[in-house]
Amino acid sequence: MLVSIESPRAARPSWLRAPAPTGGNYRDLKNIIERLGLHTVCESAACPNVGECWNQRTATFMILGNVCTRRCGFCAVQKGAPLAVDFDEPRRVAEASAAMGLRYAVVTSVNRDDRKDGGALLFALTIRAIRERIPGCKVEVLVPDFQGSHEAMEIVMAERPDVLNHNTETVPRLYRQVRLGAGYERSLDMLAYAKKLRPEVPTKSGLMLGLGETAEETLSVMRDLKGAKVDILTLGQYLRPSAKHLPVIRYVPPEEFAGYRRAGVEMGFGHVEAGPLVRSSYHASEAAG
């Protein structure tokens, strides 16, 4: 049985440590990203795994600029007036993917609520550009909710991404604090619609834990995601990017994450990645099979 006991303002435990962002591969990837004028969620969202992933020559590209139109309480990405859409960006993402020697590319974006399609067209163009530049390269996309637009999801799914990821992030009770401007039922609907459009394309979603959710609420979301025919599930620990963001209510121990992983496997998910440092794109190629 999974038990959730809150411990407000708990000190970060010793087992929650990530490798420092150093090393030859790290510097090489940083130079590629900077030279091509690109953004990564690894840096913009202050991901704790940037050192590990970049030294393994993997990164998650963030398209449509680095300014988000929403103000989610957990996210380190800059908020404000969005940048102009750069239609050369897909080409540069493909060039960077080739320079990095990628065989599995992950692409995400900021929210672009200023655009009717939410940025779906640029996702489609980026998928196409990577495949044209690197034949055989798989592409996973981590998309926003497109404000619930089925038409936007159709644009993305028409390109047949190798994995369609959209994060639920938290439990319904916490949405107003955590995902301002989003809707739990909307996210479930978009995941279900993606699977309806392309049943052969694996869908994926993820949750952050430690924001005050209970174990039963987490399990309930997992069951809802399975009901939406989600194939791959990720669960990780929320880490506060700064004092301006939501506080960590609780650090979830590794053994509890292991319990959620077992529960997810029992529910029938094809792959469950669960652990304190797990993020949406962590070990993405392994999860996709």
Element (H, E) at 159: none
Question: Where does the pLDDT of residue 1 fall: very low under 50, low under 70, confident under 90, or very high at 90 and above?
Answer: very low
Closest CA to 240 of 178, 172, 283: 178
The answer to whether 205 and 168 have CB atoms below 8 angstroms apart is yes
More confident residue, 275 or 70: 275
pLDDT digits (tens, 9 = 90+) for 236-259: 999 887 788 889 999 999 999 999
Domain 24-288 classification at class level: alpha beta
Query: Percent of the chain at pLDDT above 70?
Result: 80
Within the chain, where are the H helices? 24-35, 41-44, 50-55, 89-99, 120-133, 150-157, 175-178, 184-197, 215-227, 254-267, 284-288
Predicted pLDDT of residue 270? 97
Tell me the mean pLDDT in the region 12-17.
72
Predicted pLDDT of residue 275? 93
Q: Which of 218-235 are b and which e, b meaning 16 or more Cβ less than 10 Å from the residue's Cβ?
A: bbebbebbeebebbbbbb
DSSP state of 40: B
Tell me whether residue 208 is exposed, middle or buried, using C-beta atoms within 10 angstroms of its C-beta: 0 to 12, 13 to 18, 19 or more. Answer: buried
Instruction: Assess whether pLDDT exceeds 90 at residue 17.
Output: no
Tell me the mean pLDDT in the region 132-140.
95
pTM over 0.85: yes
Tell me the mean pLDDT in the region 187-214.
97
